[in-house]
């Protein structure tokens, strides 16, 4: 998704803006641009492609010099990636950058064209720039013009704005799309996310819907929609610049895979009291849990896959019905939820548009909402009735690994507490399961160590595959979904995950000689069943990569490669098995020469539908 930054201070603003945008590259983008006050005039530089293309262009054509400005990385929505469509966009006196989507831009454009205004780009953003310029030309006061403009806009936006008549001031406003205001010493910032500014300051304000910020070098003022000053609570990021660097690893993804043991510890340990989970600080207590009728886990992508694992775990040990829903489906199908139901929204970013809309819909229908979110202060975190933060730290790689892992750990914490509250497990079992969960960081570390080499080797066998299948049953099927998503999103090899028992109903016709099938078979009660399915694909020529447990009796000749996971508490195995699935995807993508951390067409934080 688009990234926004802005700066007013004492440094060379073009450098600050490019540095800050570099920290937002993980969000995914296809063009970049900056606008800087140079001798009290706004000077714009923008380019299709990566930030390096912008920097090269500025090296060739001159870098704007000044101490304030705004910057943007664009993920194309309206109009192809091109120099013209890149942000910033301008009217006569106004230049701005935008994250979000303006739904009524066509009507607004028609109105502006009738006023004699013309447009250079295909973007909705240029319409906002012209509309603001139109109001400013009448009102002559920037904040009032911003208020007037935002009242006309439908959709989502975070805007960074400069007015030619107000050198060295940066204005910002947001609705739905996130925006923070970084507070430094004699310098202030705007940014879509904290990593952008963490090398300059850890202190920031969260801008709320329709609030307007006015930044100068030595002060920041924030106003509401009625132009009344707003007092904000200063937040401080609890991680530093090292957390957003690669720390010696070639890619963020492999760094983040290796950070998983620490991420689990940071997420689980603070929630354990006297040897059992305690989610009181999240507003969840046994009374709340006892009264839950049905649970819906609603999310997108990997976060939804963590919900799939959650479903199996919660149903198994807490005997409570769980429906897992894709947020973009849930929100448009008039779901039957209401009082007594719990909707769990899972999101790393806390800003995913569909997940947020699903949560709001569930609230409207009278259900209670619980958010499992990684990004502090994000919209989903703020609007949920109950909240469990995962503490993965910043996840920069587009492909989720450590955030997914800690989502799993929270599913277990929640399931154990629910099971005990509902009387489905006794205290001994409750304590035992919790103690096993506490062992997972160490076990995950071991698995990373022991499966890296074989995962690398397996990945060399996948490089030229056109397509492959992941199969499994139960929890192994839930994991297969995540394994398959991870592989396709970064290696660009087509793959599907299938419930192993469902193959015979159609999909097995796809199996041809040499087609790789990754079979996950770690659950003892269904092991033999999965083995039978593996035999069926093997008999039709598949190249089988089998993931099972140490000590499993693997029949001769059913697998070309066997990757063994240490024996551990069965219900917790997903936290171990996801590691080689991540590693296989990672090494396949690396060997295919792909941009692992920023796969094509993808964005980290999907703030538009």
522 binds ligand F6R (CB under 6 A): no
Q: How many residues bind ligand F6R (CB under 6 A)?
A: 15
The answer to whether 2 is a known catalytic residue is: yes
Q: Which residue's C-beta sits nearest to ligand F6R?
A: 301
At residue 589's C-alpha, the angle toward residues 588 and 590, to 5°, is: 95
Q: Using CB under 6 A, which residues numbered 381 to 440 contact ligand F6R?
A: 399-400
Q: If DSSP codes are grouped into helix, strand and coil, which group holds residue 479?
A: helix
- Least Å from the CB of residue 170 to ligand F6R: 27
| CB burial readout 130-153, b (16+ within 10 A) else e | bbbbbbbeeeeebbbbbbbbbebb
297 binds ligand F6R (CB under 6 A): no
Q: How many CB atoms lie within 10 A of CB 250?
A: 11
Q: Which one is catalytic: 2, 282, 300, 578?
A: 2
Question: Interacting stretch for ligand F6R, rule CB under 6 A, among 151-159, 173-181, 348-356, 445-453?
Answer: 348-356
Alpha-carbon gap, residue 290 to 298, rounded angstroms? 21
- Least Å from the CB of residue 376 to ligand F6R: 13
Tell which one of 95, 352, 451, 491 touches ligand F6R (CB under 6 A). Answer: 352
Taking a C-beta distance cutoff of 8 angstroms, is the pair 153, 134 a contact? no
Q: Which one is catalytic: 63, 93, 538, 604?
A: 604
Helices 475-491, 574-591: crossing angle, 10 deg rounding: 20
Q: Where are the beta strands (DSSP E) in 269-400?
A: 272-273, 276-277, 295-299, 322-326, 342-347, 368-373, 386-389
Tell which one of 576, 606, 607, 608 touches ligand F6R (CB under 6 A). Answer: 606
30 binds ligand F6R (CB under 6 A): no
At residue 501's C-alpha, the angle toward residues 499 and 503, to 5°, is: 75
Question: Interacting stretch for ligand F6R, rule CB under 6 A, among 170-178, 347-355, 528-536, 570-578?
Answer: 347-355
Please identify, using beta-carbon distances, which residue of 299 and 454 lies nearer to ligand F6R: 299
Alpha-carbon gap, residue 532 to 512, rounded angstroms? 18
355 binds ligand F6R (CB under 6 A): yes
Alpha-carbon gap, residue 485 to 488, rounded angstroms? 5
Token duo for residue 549: 């447990």
What track of x and - describes contact with ligand F6R for positions 67 through 106 (by CB under 6 A)?
Answer: ----------------------------------------
DSSP letter string, 521-539 = ---GGGHHHHHHHHHHHHH
Question: Interacting stretch for ligand F6R, rule CB under 6 A, among 202-210, 229-237, 342-350, 529-537?
Answer: 342-350
- Least Å from the CB of residue 483 to ligand F6R: 11
Taking a C-beta distance cutoff of 8 angstroms, is the pair 187, 218 a contact? no
Please identify, using beta-carbon distances, which residue of 390 and 523 lies nearer to ligand F6R: 390
Q: If DSSP codes are grouped into helix, strand and coil, which group holds residue 78?
A: coil
CB-based contacts of 9, cutoff 8 Å, min separation 6:
16, 67, 68, 184, 186, 187, 188, 189, 217
Please identify, using beta-carbon distances, which residue of 303 and 381 lies nearer to ligand F6R: 303
- Least Å from the CB of residue 264 to ligand F6R: 17
Please state the length of the chain: 609
349 binds ligand F6R (CB under 6 A): yes
Taking a C-beta distance cutoff of 8 angstroms, is the pair 307, 329 a contact? no
Radius of gyration of the chain, Cα coordinates, nearest whole angstrom: 25
What track of x and - describes contact with ligand F6R for positions 470 through 499 (by CB under 6 A)?
Answer: ---------------x---x----------
Question: Interacting stretch for ligand F6R, rule CB under 6 A, among 158-166, 251-259, 344-352, 432-440?
Answer: 344-352
Please identify, using beta-carbon distances, which residue of 266 and 347 lies nearer to ligand F6R: 347
- Least Å from the CB of residue 94 to ligand F6R: 32
- Least Å from the CB of residue 582 to ligand F6R: 10
Question: Interacting stretch for ligand F6R, rule CB under 6 A, among 94-102, 297-305, 427-435, 523-531?
Answer: 297-305
At residue 438's C-alpha, the angle toward residues 434 and 443, to 5°, is: 130
Q: Using CB under 6 A, which residues numbered 300 to 339 contact ligand F6R?
A: 300-303
Binding positions for ligand F6R, rule: CB under 6 A: 300-303, 347-349, 352, 355, 399-400, 485, 489, 605-606
Q: What are the residue numbers of the active site? A: 2, 604
């Amino acid at each position: 998704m688009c990234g926004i930054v802005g700066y007013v201070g004492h440094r060379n603003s073009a450098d600050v803006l490019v540095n800050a945008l570099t920290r937002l590259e993980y969000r995914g983008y296809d063009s970049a641009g900056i606008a800087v006050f140079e001798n009290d005039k706004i000077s714009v530089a923008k380019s299709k492609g990566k930030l390096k293309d912008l920097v090269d262009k500025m090296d060739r054509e001159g870098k704007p010099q000044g101490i304030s400005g705004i910057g943007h990385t664009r993920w194309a929505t309206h109009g192809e990636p091109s120099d013209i469509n890149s942000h910033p966009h301008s009217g006569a006196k106004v230049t701005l950058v935008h994250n979000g989507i303006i739904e009524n831009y066509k009507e607004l454009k028609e109105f502006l064209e009738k006023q004699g205004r013309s447009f250079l780009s295909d973007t909705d953003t240029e319409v906002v720039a012209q509309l603001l310029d139109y109001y400013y030309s009448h009102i002559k006061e920037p904040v009032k013009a911003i208020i007037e403009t935002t009242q006309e806009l439908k959709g989502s936006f975070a805007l960074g704005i400069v007015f030619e008549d107000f050198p060295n001031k940066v204005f910002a406003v947001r609705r739905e799309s996130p925006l923070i205001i970084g507070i430094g010493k004699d310098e202030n910032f705007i940014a879509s996310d904290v990593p952008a500014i963490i090398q300059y300051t850890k202190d920031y304000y969260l801008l709320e819907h329709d609030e307007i910020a006015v930044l100068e070098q030595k002060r920041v003022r924030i106003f509401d929609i009625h132009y009344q000053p707003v007092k904000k609570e200063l937040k401080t990021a609890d991680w530093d610049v090292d957390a957003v660097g690669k720390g010696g690893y070639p890619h963020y993804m492999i760094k983040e895979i290796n950070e998983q043991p620490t991420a689990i510890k940071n997420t689980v340990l603070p929630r354990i009291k006297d040897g059992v989970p305690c989610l009181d600080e999240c507003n969840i207590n046994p009374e709340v849990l006892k009264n839950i009728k049905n649970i819906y886990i609603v999310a997108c992508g990997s976060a939804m896959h963590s919900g799939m694992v959650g479903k199996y775990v919660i149903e198994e040990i807490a005997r409570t019905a769980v429906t897992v829903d894709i947020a973009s489906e849930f929100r448009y199908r008039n779901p039957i939820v209401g009082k007594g139901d719990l909707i769990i929204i899972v999101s790393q970013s806390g800003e995913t548009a569909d997940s947020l809309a699903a949560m709001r819909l569930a609230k409207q229908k009278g259900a209670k909402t619980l958010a499992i979110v990684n990004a502090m202060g994000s919209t989903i975190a703020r609007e949920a009735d109950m909240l469990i933060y995962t503490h993965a730290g910043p996840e920069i790689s587009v492909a989720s690994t450590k955030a997914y892992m800690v989502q799993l750990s929270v599913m277990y914490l929640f399931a154990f507490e629910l099971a005990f509250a509902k009387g489905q497990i006794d205290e001994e079992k409750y304590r035992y399961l919790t103690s096993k969960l506490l062992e997972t960081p160490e076990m995950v570390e071991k698995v990373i160590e022991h499966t890296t080499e074989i995962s690398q080797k397996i990945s060399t066998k996948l490089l030229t595959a056109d397509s492959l299948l992941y199969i499994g049953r139960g929890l192994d099927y839930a994991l297969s979904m995540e394994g398959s998503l991870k592989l396709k999103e970064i290696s660009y090899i087509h793959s599907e995950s299938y419930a192993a028992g469902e193959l015979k109903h159609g999909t097995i016709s796809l199996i041809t000689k040499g087609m790789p099938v990754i079979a996950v078979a770690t659950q003892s009660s269904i092991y033999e069943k999965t083995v039978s399915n593996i035999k069926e694909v093997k008999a039709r020529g598949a190249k089988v990569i089998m993931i099972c447990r140490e000590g499993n009796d693997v029949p001769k000749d059913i697998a070309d490669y066997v990757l063994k996971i240490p024996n551990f508490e069965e219900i917790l195995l997903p936290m171990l098995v996801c590691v080689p699935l991540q590693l296989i995807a990672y090494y396949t993508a690396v060997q295919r020469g792909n941009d692992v951390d920023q796969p094509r067409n993808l964005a980290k934080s999907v703030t538009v539908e």
